[in-house]
Amino acid sequence: MRKLTLFAIVGAVVALAAGYAIYASMQPPADVAPAETATVDASSAPEPAAGAPVLYDDDKIMGSADAPVTIIEYASLTCPHCANFHKNTLPKVKETYIDTGKVRIVFRDFPLNKPALEAAAIAHCMPAERYFAMLDVLFASQNEWSSQPDPKAALVQIGRTAGLDQAKIDACLSDQAMADRILARSQEAQQKYAIESTPSFIIGGKTIAGDRSFESFETLIKEQLP
């Protein structure tokens, strides 16, 4: 799993420029080794158990509002173990539990560095119905854009070719209120749920840290199903 790096970002996130391709579905798995895992008791946090956690109005949610199990994921878009989860485990969870109405997943940004925050801003630029498709793009192409000497130049390609006009990109990436909100909620995650690495998940009042196989994740889900 990817350990937390504290960082400060002063002023607005600057605009990116140019394009890449948006993917309609998740890409084939990357050769990324699974992370070690851990479980931390977060039952003292003011969140009800799996069925009805407290959510924000602007949370990004995949799945039915009536799903009996809610999972909150904290991830950084530059974290390779997060990309591994989204490419290897999440598609199976989606097919088996999300699409069948049993589980909903709430995605919350936990950026470990400035490029991750900028990538999060690009995703938040998208219309709501295309948000998770953009996450697919960013995780699937993570090795390419995050390893560039200037990750912003690659991120701009993703936004432009995804159909965002420059004015929209400029507005999103200069939205300091959005950047502050993402960072504030990351800090909240550390304080309330002992989030110290990515990916981490809140399932049934507990913090589950680390990438997991589908079989391991399925066990956690079944423990919460009525």
| 67: amino acid identity, one letter | A
Angle, CA 47 vertex, CA 117 and CA 52 arms, to 5°: 100
Contact of 26 with 91, CB cutoff 8 Å: yes
25 in a structural domain: no
Structure tokens at 84: 């591994």
Give the structural domain span for 124: 34-224
Per-residue pLDDT tens digits for 70-111: 999 999 999 999 999 999 999 999 999 999 999 999 999 999
199 in a structural domain: yes
56 in a structural domain: yes
Residues in the chain: 226
d(CA 175, CA 170) in angstroms, rounded, equals: 8
1 in a structural domain: no
Whether the model clears a pTM of 0.75, i.e. scores above it, the answer is yes
Q: Kindly tell me the number of DSSP H helices and DSSP E strands found in the chain.
A: 9, 8
Closest CA to 61 of 105, 117, 113: 105
d(CA 165, CA 90) in angstroms, rounded, equals: 30
Domain count within the chain: 1
5 in a structural domain: no
149 in a structural domain: yes
Handedness of CA 188, 189, 193, 196 (dihedral sign): negative
pLDDT category, 54, cuts 50, 70, 90? confident
4 in a structural domain: no
d(CA 148, CA 13) in angstroms, rounded, equals: 18
8 in a structural domain: no
Per-residue pLDDT tens digits for 144-192: 999 999 888 888 889 998 998 888 888 888 899 999 999 999 999 999 9
Say if residue 41's pLDDT is above 60: no
Cβ-proximal residues to 55 (8 Å cutoff; 6+ apart), any chain: 61, 70, 106
* CATH number of the domain encompassing residue 146: 3.40.30.10
Burial degree of 33 (CB within 10 A; 0-12, 13-18, 19+) = exposed
